[in-house]
């Protein structure tokens, strides 16, 4: 609905909003500095997921590798403590323009350091993201 | 867990011994990015050498050194400040050095998608204003359009709201209310640069609003923004005596801008167009005789390529770039204004920049400035020994820049 409205306003071409609603945002809880998420919540056809957690100031991006393993990174710009956003090409900071690839490496400054990465372990039913 | 305690203990010791601050790197390495309380320092700077091949003169300058100091009071409230020294030193003998606060604001995180800023901040206008670090552009100096037409860095006092639309990844909306401009500071050929208050005793009975829509789509970044504000903060009595409209949006300035960028590791492209409207310019001229134009406009396009992309030196960058800028600082003038074609300018800039490590940039470029003829009617007391006005000048520029 919102996508269509913006398209109608002519602010952005409708075709460029085709990605609307395609980045899943999953609400999570944490325990003992771990975020545990059931695999059933992870749509098979999606490559990246935004995990929202009330204990963390910023979201966590969960990325699925080609071999179906996962890694995660903290969505905080390493430049000046602002949130970063993600799409299927990378992450970007709206405050000062830094961009990062999906591995968290800086592709354009002013940030100079990669995004903080978290280890992800896996069992049959769930993923555990180790925040510390 | 044991290791965590040791790290925290060592960090605490270091914290108390070293000026009560921890660097961004320390805080990240210790995994404290989620802590509720931390102080961060960073900064940037640039120096340049500019040689005018026509007048055969050169100028070397330490253009700016900026120190960023931020502090997180809690997960909800943070402080951001940037203190800048321009042109290396400030004296009381008329040097053009300047110490100023470029930003000083509190940021309140309402939730993960919305935050509010209050204080001295940079409204979302153009490409350079928010993103002005010298390591983020390849030319030795910022674009001329975003220096003369959009006066980056343009900061004012006020309150702003920033919202990321969670249902549409990449879509960001922002709006702010800030103090207005000063009509007395406007003038022919200088746009609105000297009409800004920049946080110093700003008149706040005249206000301005700014709104922007910013959208990231794959490697693209699109933005549209608008600014509309009053320029007369005098008392009604004083304004009446000058026959100017005062009040919140009296004697207004409107500035409208769209820009687009395509950014990858290898190729980039950016373009920006801007229109500035001063519908009451004739009244400003009547009051202050400063030759304010009715409108100004301009655009630029820039493209570049990283020659080290997909080589074994991918951690470094060697960018070649080219840019064309055109703007007219008196696109239209009121009946009581005087047009000067010298304020219609184009700049062609081409050059190279090398990034040996993240945060350091070494730059070189050539810039050709072309203008219309200077209107001799604007020269009240001609200087017989003055060098002739040149419609075209070529500059060779070298620069270094850092940010961390």
DSSP letter for each residue of B291-302: ---SEEEEEEEE
So what's the pLDDT on residue B9? 40
Altogether, the residues listed in chain B come to a count of 404
Dihedral sign from CA coordinates of B149, B150, B154, B160: positive
CA dihedral A18, A22, A25, A26 (to 10 degrees): 160
d(CA A73, nearest CA chain B) in Å:
12
Neighbour order of strands in the sheet with A30-31: A25-28, A48-53, A60-64, A70-74, A117-122, A126-130, A34-38, A30-31
Altogether, the residues listed in chain A come to a count of 132
Report yes or no: B347 and B386 within 8 Å, Cβ to Cβ.
no
β-bridge pairing B98-111 and B77-86: antiparallel
From the list B112, B131, B169, the residue facing A23 with the nearest CB is B169
Q: Chain A contacts of B309, Cβ < 8 Å?
A: none
Whether residues B219 and A96 touch (CB distance < 8 A) is answered with no
So what's the pLDDT on residue B368? 98
Q: Is B212 helix (H, G, I), strand (E, B) or coil?
A: strand
**Exposure string over B226-239, b if 16+ CB within 10 A, otherwise e:** bbbbbbbbbeeeeb
Among all residues of chain A, which has the CA nearest to that of B111? A57
Does one domain contain both B268 and B219? yes
In B121-160, the residues whose Cβ lies within 8 Å of chain A are: 127, 130-131, 133, 135-136
In B374-403, the residues whose Cβ lies within 8 Å of chain A are: 403
Asked if residue B197 belongs to a domain, the reply is: yes
Q: Is B198 helix (H, G, I), strand (E, B) or coil?
A: coil
- Mean pLDDT to the nearest integer, A96-118: 89
> CA separation (Å) from B55 to B52, B191, B399?
6, 26, 20
From the list B34, B224, B358, the residue facing A56 with the nearest CB is B34
Asked if the C-beta of A102 comes within 8 angstroms of chain B's C-beta atoms, the answer is no
Burial class (CB in 10 A: 0-12, 13-18, 19+), A82: buried
Does one domain contain both B133 and B246? yes
Asked whether residue A8 carries a pLDDT value surpassing 60, the answer given is no
Q: Output the pTM of the full model.
A: 0.85
Quote the CA–CA distance of B277 and B296 in Å, as a whole number.
7
* Element at B238 (helix H, strand E): helix B236-241
So what's the pLDDT on residue B64? 96
Quote the CA–CA distance of B232 and B243 in Å, as a whole number.
11
DSSP at B5: H
ipTM for the whole predicted complex goes beyond 0.85 = no
* Interface probe, candidates B34, B134, B309, chain A, greatest A C-beta count within 10 A: B34
- Mean pLDDT to the nearest integer, A62-75: 89
So what's the pLDDT on residue B93? 76
So what's the pLDDT on residue B2? 44
* Interface probe, candidates A4, A22, A54, A57, chain B, greatest B C-beta count within 10 A: A57
Give tens-digit pLDDT for A19-29: 444 677 888 88
- Mean pLDDT to the nearest integer, A59-85: 88
Whether residues B167 and A17 touch (CB distance < 8 A) is answered with no
d(CA B303, nearest CA chain A) in Å:
15
Structure token pair of residue B130: 């928010």
User: Largest Cα–Cα distance of chain B, in whole Å?
Assistant: 80
Asked if the C-beta of A20 comes within 8 angstroms of chain B's C-beta atoms, the answer is yes
Matching residue, tokens 């204003």: B129
Quote the CA–CA distance of A112 and B82 in Å, as a whole number.
18
Matching residue, tokens 């993600």: A86
So what's the pLDDT on residue A22? 62
Q: Is B4 helix (H, G, I), strand (E, B) or coil?
A: helix
> CA separation (Å) from B146 to A118, B274, B338, B395?
39, 10, 24, 18
- Mean pLDDT to the nearest integer, A43-53: 83
* Interface probe, candidates A112, A115, A119, chain B, greatest B C-beta count within 10 A: A112
Asked if residue B85 belongs to a domain, the reply is: no
Whether residues A76 and B33 touch (CB distance < 8 A) is answered with yes
Instruction: Count the neighbouring beta carbons within 10 Å of the beta carbon of residue B374.
Output: 16
Asked if the C-beta of B216 comes within 8 angstroms of chain A's C-beta atoms, the answer is yes
Quote the CA–CA distance of B131 and B122 in Å, as a whole number.
10
The CATH class that applies to domain A22-130 reads mainly beta
Does one domain contain both B387 and B362? yes
What is the residue-level pLDDT of chain B in tens, covering all 404 positions?
A: 444 444 444 444 343 333 344 444 344 333 334 455 788 898 999 999 999 999 999 999 999 999 999 998 988 899 999 999 999 988 887 668 899 999 999 999 999 899 999 999 999 999 999 999 999 999 999 999 999 999 999 999 999 999 999 888 889 999 999 999 999 999 899 999 999 999 999 999 999 999 999 999 989 999 999 999 999 999 999 999 999 999 899 999 999 999 999 988 899 999 999 999 999 999 999 999 999 999 999 999 999 999 999 898 888 999 999 999 999 999 999 999 999 999 999 999 999 999 999 899 999 999 999 999 999 888 888 888 888 899 999 999 999 999 98
Q: Chain A contacts of B24, Cβ < 8 Å?
A: 78, 113
Q: Chain A contacts of B213, Cβ < 8 Å?
A: 11
So what's the pLDDT on residue A16? 46
Whether residues A106 and B135 touch (CB distance < 8 A) is answered with no
How many folded domains does chain B comprise? 2
* Element at B59 (helix H, strand E): strand B57-72
β-bridge pairing A25-28 and A48-53: parallel
So what's the pLDDT on residue B36? 59
Does one domain contain both B200 and B324? yes
Strand partners, B271: B260, B301
Does one domain contain both B54 and B8? no
Instruction: Count the neighbouring beta carbons within 10 Å of the beta carbon of residue A21.
Output: 14
Given 3-state DSSP classes, what are the helix, strand and coil percentages for chain B, each rounded to the nearest 5? 15, 45, 40
Structure token pair of residue B106: 């509190």
Asked if the C-beta of B243 comes within 8 angstroms of chain A's C-beta atoms, the answer is no
Q: Chain B contacts of A79, Cβ < 8 Å?
A: 42
Q: Which domain holds residue B19?
A: 1-32
Asked if the C-beta of B305 comes within 8 angstroms of chain A's C-beta atoms, the answer is no
* Closest C-alpha to B399, from B63, B128, B22: B63
Q: What is the CATH number of the domain that holds B248?
A: 2.40.160
So what's the pLDDT on residue B112? 87
User: Over chain A, what HEC string results?
Assistant: CHHHHHHHHCCCCHHHHCCCCCCCEEEECEECCEEEEEHHHCCCCCCEEEEEECCCCCCEEEEECCCCCEEEEECECCCCCCEEEEECCEEEECCCCCEECCCCCEEECCCCCCCCEEEEEECCCEEEEECC
So what's the pLDDT on residue B7? 42
Burial class (CB in 10 A: 0-12, 13-18, 19+), A10: exposed
């Amino acid at each position: 609905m919102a996508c269509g409205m913006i398209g109608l306003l002519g602010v952005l071409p409708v075709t460029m909003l085709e990605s609307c609603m395609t980045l899943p945002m999953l609400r999570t809880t944490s325990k003992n500095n771990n975020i545990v998420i059931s695999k059933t919540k992870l749509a098979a056809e999606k490559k990246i997921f935004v995990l929202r957690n009330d204990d963390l100031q910023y979201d966590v991006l969960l990325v699925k590798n080609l071999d179906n393993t996962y890694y995660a990174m903290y969505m905080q710009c390493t430049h000046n403590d602002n949130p970063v956003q993600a799409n299927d090409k990378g992450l970007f900071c709206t405050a000062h323009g830094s961009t990062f690839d999906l591995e968290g490496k800086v592709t354009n400054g002013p940030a100079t350091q990669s995004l903080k990465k978290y280890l992800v372990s896996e069992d049959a039913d769930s993923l555990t993201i180790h925040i510390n | 867990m044991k290791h965590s305690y040791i790290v925290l203990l060592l960090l605490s010791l270091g914290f108390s011994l070293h000026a009560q601050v921890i660097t961004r790197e320390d805080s990240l390495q210790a995994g404290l990015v989620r802590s509720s309380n931390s102080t961060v320092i960073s900064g940037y700077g640039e120096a340049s050498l500019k040689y005018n091949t026509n007048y055969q003169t050169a100028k070397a300058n330490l253009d700016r050194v900026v120190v960023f100091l931020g502090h997180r009071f809690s997960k909800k409230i943070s402080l951001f400040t940037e203190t800048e020294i321009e042109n290396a030193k400030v004296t009381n003998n008329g040097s053009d050095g300047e110490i100023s606060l470029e930003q000083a604001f509190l940021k309140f995180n309402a939730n993960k998608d919305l935050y509010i800023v209050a204080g001295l901040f940079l409204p979302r206008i153009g490409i350079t204003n928010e993103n002005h670090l010298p390591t983020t552009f390849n030319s030795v100096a910022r674009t001329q359009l975003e220096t003369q037409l959009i006066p980056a860095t343009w900061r004012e006092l006020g309150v702003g709201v920033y919202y990321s639309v969670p249902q549409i990844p990449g879509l960001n909306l922002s709006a702010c209310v800030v103090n207005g401009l000063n009509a007395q500071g406007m003038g022919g050929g200088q746009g609105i640069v000297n009409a800004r208050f920049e946080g110093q005793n700003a008149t706040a009975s005249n206000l301005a609003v700014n709104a922007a829509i910013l959208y990231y789509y794959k490697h693209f970044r699109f933005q549209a923004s608008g600014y509309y504000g009053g320029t007369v903060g005098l008392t009604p009595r004083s304004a009446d005596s000058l026959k100017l409209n005062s009040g919140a949006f009296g004697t207004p300035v409107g500035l409208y801008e769209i820009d687009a960028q395509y950014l990858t590791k290898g190729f980039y492209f950016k373009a920006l167009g801007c229109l500035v409207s001063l519908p009451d310019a004739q009244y400003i001229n009547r009051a202050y005789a400063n030759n304010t134009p009715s409108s100004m406009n301009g655009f630029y396009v820039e493209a570049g390529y990283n020659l080290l992309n997909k080589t074994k030196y991918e951690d470094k960058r060697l960018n070649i770039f080219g840019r064309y800028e055109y703007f007219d600082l008196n696109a239209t003038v009121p009946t009581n204004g005087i047009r000067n074609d010298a304020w219609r300018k184009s700049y062609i800039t081409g050059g190279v920049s090398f990034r040996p490590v993240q945060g350091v940039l070494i730059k070189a470029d050539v810039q050709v400035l072309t203008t219309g003829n200077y209107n001799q009617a604007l020269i009240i007391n001609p200087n017989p020994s003055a060098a002739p006005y040149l419609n075209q000048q070529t500059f060779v520029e070298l620069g270094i820049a850092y940010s961390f």
